[in-house]
Amino acid sequence: MIQLIPAIDIIDGKCVRLSQGKYDQKKVYNENVLEVAKEFEAHGITRLHLVDLDGAKAKHIVNYKVLENIASNTNLCIDFGGGLKTDEDLKIAFECGASMVTGGSIAIKNAATFISWINTYGKDKIILGADVKGETIALNGWTEESECKLMPFLNSYIQKGIDKVICTDIAKDGMLEGPSIDLYKKILSKHKDLYLIASGGVSSMEDIATLESAGLPAVIFGKAIYEGRISLKQLESSIIQKHIIIC
């Protein structure tokens, strides 16, 4: 059964969504992020993907108070990412209530630090973020492209112990045009035991069902909820019917 993980992206402490990672195509959905998180929890959600977009751009953690507020006032299992570049950033994230953290840019720009996080905290606490344009890794909130290709990038970190990856197709993100099924199938064909979390493009419960049929163990989605394409009642019904444990 596929794990359902709603996303909250934060700019200026507000719940927003971007289109294809473009900061100038920002839409604010709610100024009260805790309210959004509590609504998810009230409908049976127990796992949350929280992204500090200010942090991603600034290259250090920014919205840690938002993380702390949600962690202190809900029982959600929070995966936090965005702007985690140093040991101090990571310490702040965990102290403010993150259950797991996602590192993407740092895994390329400062591999030694990222590997030390895996060794120190363990693979259950560290998720590898693979944000791609085509099959090239993008960095720093998708504002930069690297020369690193997706498959060698994944291969390298799987060999180092990573077993959970969030893969976001930037071209799909926020567009509500369906996820990159072929890309995810390609990854899983090479790494059958990888806990691959699909992200980007989900527009309906049918898209989620398609990902589940393709063997994806988990999916992150946000805009489909905020735009009314997927209702919280639909999520709640799916959780009840499948007896999903989301954490």
Domain assignments of the chain as residue spans, ordered by start: 3-242
CA distances from residue 49 to 36, 40, 82, 83, 116 in whole angstroms, order as listed: 12, 12, 11, 14, 23
Model pTM score:
0.93
Q: Check if 131 is active-site.
A: yes
Please choose, from the candidates 241, 196, 201, the residue with its C-alpha nearest in 3D space to the C-alpha of residue 221: 201
- Residue 43, number of CB atoms within 10 A of its CB: 16
Q: Which residue(s) pair with 77 in the sheet?
A: 47
Residue 1 pLDDT: 85
Residue 244 pLDDT: 45
Selected catalytic residue, list 52, 54, 89, 131: 131
Q: Check if 9 is active-site.
A: yes
- CATH number, domain 3-242, options 3.40.50.300, 3.40.50.1000, 3.20.20.70, 3.40.50.1100: 3.20.20.70
Q: Cα angle at 67 between 64 and 71, to 5 degrees?
A: 140
pLDDT 10s per residue in the chain (247 long)?
Answer: 899 999 999 999 999 998 777 888 889 999 999 999 999 999 999 999 999 999 988 999 999 999 999 999 999 999 999 999 999 999 999 999 999 999 998 999 999 999 999 999 999 999 999 999 888 998 765 556 778 999 999 999 999 999 999 999 988 877 889 999 999 999 999 999 999 999 999 999 999 999 999 999 999 999 999 999 999 999 999 988 865 444 4
